[in-house]
Amino acid sequence: MSDPFRIEGTRALVTGANTGIGQAIAVGLAAAGAHVIAAGRRSCAETVDLVTQAGGSGEEVTFDLADPATAADALDALEPLDILVNNAGIIRRDDSVDYSEADWDDVMDVNLKAVFMLSQRFAKAAIGRKAGGRIVNIASLLSFQGGIRVPAYTASKHGVAGLTKILANEWAAKGINVNAVAPGYIATNNTEALRDDPKRSAEILGRIPAGRWGDPSDIAGAVTFLCSPAAGYVTGAVLNVDGGWLAR
C-alpha cells in the first residue's frame, strides 16, 4: 500500500514563500514529494535552496498580490497545478477610529481578494481538465477572535474562514478540497518583537497549554497533511494549529 501522506508527482504553488511559515510550507510539501513553486514579492531563492537541500524540487516566481487580478493571471503560465497554498498576507495596525481607507484596502486586497481570485483561477483550470486539487488557505487565530488595532486583518481572516467553507461547498463534487489552517503564535520574524519582550512573551506562553511558541514546521505539517491522500475526505475545515490557545 502506498504511503497516504506522500504527494509525489504533484505541483504545488505556495504564496508568500520567501520566509517564515510560507517557506516552511514549501519545504514541507517538497519533502513529501511535490514540485514546489515558491511565489513572493521578493526573491524566494533561499526557499528553493532549502527545498533542494531537503531532497525536493522547486522553482521561484515573483508576483505581487497587491494586484490580485495580475497575480491570478500569472497562474496560467504555471499550470498544471495540483495544490494551491494561499499563505501570503499583510497586517497594518492602528486604532479603529483612525484606520485609513488605504490601509483597509491594501490588507483586504492581499489577504482576501487575492485568496479568492487565485483560488477561482486554480479551480477553473482544474475543472477544465477534469482533475481534482487541493487548496489550503492560511487563516489566523483572528479568524475566531477580534484582536485589537487590526480591524482590516481581523475582517480579512474572518473572511478567509468563510471563503474556505463556501468554496469547499461548491467544489467538493468537482474533486477540489478546500481547507484552511489557523496558526497560533509561531516563532517567525513577525513575532520577534513579542518574543523579545519578556513580559508579553510570558503572558502569551501562559495562555498556551503546550507551553511553547509554535515552529513554522508545525504549520507545514498540517498543510502537508491536508494536501495528501490521507485527508481525502477533509474539506471545509479550519484546522487550528495553536498549541491549544483557542481551547483555553
Whether residue 185 lies in the annotated active site: no
- Pick from 85, 238, 74: which is nearest to 166 by CA? 238
| Amino acid (1-letter code) at residue 242 | D
Cell numbers given for 219: 504549520
d(CA 5, CA 226): 9
Cell numbers given for 78: 504555471
Of the candidates 99, 153, 185, 233, the residue annotated as catalytic is 153
Give per-residue burial for 184-214: e unless 16+ CB within 10 Å, then b: bbbbbeebeeeeeeeeebeebeeebeeeebb
**φ and ψ of 173, to 5 deg:** -70, -15
Give the position of cell 497516504. Answer: 4
Longest dimension (CA), the chain: 58
What is the Rg, in whole angstroms, of the alpha carbon atoms belonging to the chain?
17
Torsion of CA 53, 58, 61, 66, to 10 degrees: -80
Pairing of strands 83-86, 11-15: parallel
Active site residues: 153
